[in-house]
């Protein structure tokens, strides 16, 4: 039975569980909808980043020979809601089931729980296995605790995966964190790495025009726009950080200098 494979905007990974075991009759659905762009007034840079990344990812999937149904924000028939676009896709493709990866946002997770009854089809929601810990593992760790402090969760993760741990079970260097050493003031004449600005292709330029026209009233400036919008570009950013900024990141993690918005930070959180 053909399936509709739905992908949320923050799930643009070729290894996503929702894409595992694809059949030639399946259709992958990605959609830009006004409902998600405006339930709060998102920064226009964020909207442009997401829309451009989604469109580039759709092209990657098409390059693999997959059936991709991509709905742009300004498509005439766009219902402007996730559920509306799933309903249209089910009707157009005659798919008898929906396969998706669990969303990372509680708001969307609650909505997804209604999809089976709403669409009257089989719904398979797969675990998001891109994370080192599952929700089940985290819930097991959190059960019975009075404080859910990230510091203590990270310690258990480091032990389990043997990250920066000594054979005797103690952390490398003898301490679990070195936050006290992250607060040094910037040295005089400190050289700060120049950051990457990616060349904008036709897809990104089209998105920038769309966001400027539709979301110019949102807070923040759309330009300049420097984000990576493909995996290849994101990996360039990661490698640049490791080579150029990571050596001094810890020392100046909390330092601020006028005219230097990034200092030695990685700028890869959005891509993760």
Query: Are 198 and 232 contacting, i.e. CB atoms less than 8 angstroms apart?
Result: no
Please say whether the beta carbons of 177 and 151 come within 8 A: yes
pLDDT in tens, 214-255: 999 999 999 999 999 999 999 999 999 999 999 999 899 989
Query: Which pLDDT value is given to residue 142?
Result: 95
Over residues 42-46, mean pLDDT: 97
Instruction: Report the distance separating Cα 23 and Cα 165, nearest Å.
Output: 43
For residue 208, what pLDDT is reported? 98
What's the pLDDT score for residue 1?
86
The pTM score is 0.91
Q: How far apart are CA 259 and CA 272, in angstroms?
A: 26
Query: Has residue 111 got a pLDDT over 90?
Result: yes
In whole angstroms, give the CA distance from residue 148 to residue 153: 8
- Which tokens hold the place of 163? 């990250």
Burial of 162 (0-12, 13-18, 19+ CB in 10 A): exposed
User: Does 184 score more than 90 pLDDT?
Assistant: no
Query: Predicted confidence band at 182 (pLDDT cuts at 50, 70, 90)?
Result: confident
Report the pLDDT value the prediction gives residue 180, as an integer from 0 to 100. Answer: 81
Amino acid 188: pLDDT: 85
């Amino acid at each position: 039975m053909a399936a509709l494979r739905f992908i949320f905007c923050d799930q643009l990974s070729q290894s996503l569980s929702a894409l595992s075991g694809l059949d030639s009759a399946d259709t992958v659905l990605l959609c830009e909808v006004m409902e998600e762009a405006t339930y709060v007034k998102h920064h226009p840079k964020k909207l442009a980043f997401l829309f451009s990344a989604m469109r580039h990812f759709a092209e990657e999937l098409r390059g693999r020979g997959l059936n991709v149904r991509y709905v742009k924000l300004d498509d005439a028939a766009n219902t402007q809601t996730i559920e509306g676009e799933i309903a249209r896709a089910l009707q157009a493709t005659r798919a008898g089931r929906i396969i998706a990866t669990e969303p990372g946002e509680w708001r969307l997770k609650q909505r997804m729980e209604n999809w089976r009854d709403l669409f009257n089809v089989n719904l398979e929601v797969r675990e998001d296995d891109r994370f080192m810990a599952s929700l089940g593992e985290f819930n097991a760790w959190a059960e019975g605790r009075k404080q859910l402090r990230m510091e203590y969760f990270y310690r258990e993760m480091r032990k389990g995966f043997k990250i920066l741990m000594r054979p005797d079970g103690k952390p490398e260097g003898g301490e679990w964190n070195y936050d006290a050493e992250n607060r040094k003031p910037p040295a005089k004449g400190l050289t700060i790495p120049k950051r990457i600005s990616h060349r904008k292709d036709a897809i990104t330029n089209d998105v920038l025009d769309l966001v400027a026209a539709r979301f110019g009233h949102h807070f923040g400036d759309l330009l300049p726009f420097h984000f990576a919008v493909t995996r290849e570009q994101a990996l360039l950013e990661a490698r640049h950080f490791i080579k150029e900024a990571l050596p001094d990141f810890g020392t100046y993690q909390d330092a601020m200098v006028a005219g230097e918005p990034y200092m030695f930070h990685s700028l890869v959180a959005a891509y993760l």
